[in-house]
Structure formats: structure tokens, C-alpha cells
Amino acid sequence: MPKGGRKGGHKGRARQYTSPEEIDAQLQAEKQKAREEEEQEEGGDGAAGDPKKEKKSLDSDESEDEEDDYQQKRKGVEGLIDIENPNRVAQTTKKVTQLDLDGPKELSRREREEIEKQKAKERYMKMHLAGKTEQAKADLARLAIIRKQREEAARKKEEERKAKDDATLSGKRMQSLSLNK
């Protein structure tokens, strides 16, 4: 025989779930029952009844939903002591007419840093194109050196070509002179 006593145990039994509609129906039935009990109490007391109860019964139809939301069942000493967390920010809803779309929007730290980074990059590029940054000065100096080297190489090449042309011309003259003899 298994240790549990009987076969199967508690796991795997059919669970029953109540639908939201059933829960709402039960709450409505409880509210209706509470109203009927109040009416019976007021009807039994007659004119000697509490004026607060009469006033409450008149207002109860209008503000019943508000009271249920506001007066929830509190646990422990919450009903005795009204405690409010000063660090908790209350959610305030604004109407569409109250929204200020034209006003300046506060940016987060990351957004501000990103904008500053883009502006700094643009400033640097302007300075670089104007030739005022260290890197731009170094690039211009390097470019000047390369231009001089290329000019010298082109001049040498031109001289060599001229020298070669002169050599070929002088060689042809010699040949023509030797043939004329």
C-alpha cells in the first residue's frame, strides 16, 4: 500500500474556475440583499429612524459604486490608522484640454547627452573644414609635403625625358654624319 493511504492523492483533481460574469452576478446579488436588509431596518424603525441612514439610503443609489471602490475591506490596523506613503506618487489623470503640447519638453539625461554629442561633432567638423584643428593642420602639412614630392618627381621625369630626347637626337646626327661620309 502506498504511503499516502489511498491511491492518487490530491493532485490532478478537477479544478473549478469561476468566470468574471459569475463573480459580478454574485456581487450584485450581495448588494441587492444588503439594500433589502437596510430597507427592512428603516421600515421597522419608522419615523424614529436615524436621519443618517435615511440620507445614506437616498444617496446610496447614486454613489454606491464610488463607496465600494473607496471603502475596501482593510487588513489589520489599516482601518484604525490612515497611513500614506510620502514617496508614492499619486497617478493624476489629465484631460486632453489640459495637456500642454507646445511647452518645452523635458529631456532625459541620455537624450541630452546624445544631443550634446551631435552638436560637438558638428562644431568639430566645421573647425576641421576651416583648418583650425590639430588634425586638420597635420593633414594640410602632410598634403603640402606630398605635393612638393610629386612636383619634384614630375620635374625629374621631365628632365630625364629631355635628356633621353637629346641623346636620341645626338645619336641620329652622328649616324647621319657617318652615312654622309
User: Residues 126-135: pLDDT tens digits?
Assistant: 999 898 889 9
Supply the pLDDT for residue 44.
Answer: 62
Kindly state the average pLDDT of the residues 141-149: 96
Q: What is the pLDDT of residues 6-40, one digit of tens each?
A: 565 566 666 777 888 999 999 999 999 999 998 98
Which pLDDT does position 103 carry in this prediction? 66
Average pLDDT, stretch 50-70?
Answer: 49
In angstroms, the CA 67 to CA 45 distance is: 25
Give the CA angle between residues 36, 39, 44 to the nearest 5°.
Answer: 125
Residue 155 pLDDT more than 80?
yes
> What residues contact 40, with CB distance under 8 A and at least 6 apart?
none
The distance of Cα 13 from the centroid of its chain, to the nearest Å, equals 46
Between CA 99 and CA 105, with CA 104 as vertex, the angle to 5 degrees is 75
Q: What confidence score (pLDDT) does residue 120 get? A: 96
Q: What is the pLDDT of residues 77-128, one digit of tens each?
A: 666 776 777 787 777 887 777 776 766 678 899 999 999 999 999 999 999 9
Label residue 49 by pLDDT band (50, 70, 90).
very low
Instruction: State percent of the chain over pLDDT 70.
Output: 66
Taking a C-beta distance cutoff of 8 angstroms, is the pair 133, 127 a contact? Answer: yes
SS3 content of the chain, % helix, strand, coil (to 5): 70, 0, 30
Tell me what pLDDT residue 131 has: 86
What's the confidence (pLDDT) of residue 59? 47
Note the pLDDT of residue 99. 73
Cβ contact 110:102 at 8 Å = no
Using the structure block, give the residue that is written with the C-alpha cell 609635403.
145
- Give the helix/strand (H/E) hosting 78: none
Q: Return phi, psi of residue 54, to 5°.
A: -65, -45
Residue 139 and residue 147: Cα distance in Å, rounded?
A: 12
Contact 39, 49 (CB under 8 A): no
> What is the number of helices (H) and of strands (E) in the chain?
4, 0
pLDDT at residue 167, rounded to an integer: 87
Q: How far is residue 169's CA from residue 172's CA, in Å, rounded to a whole number?
A: 5
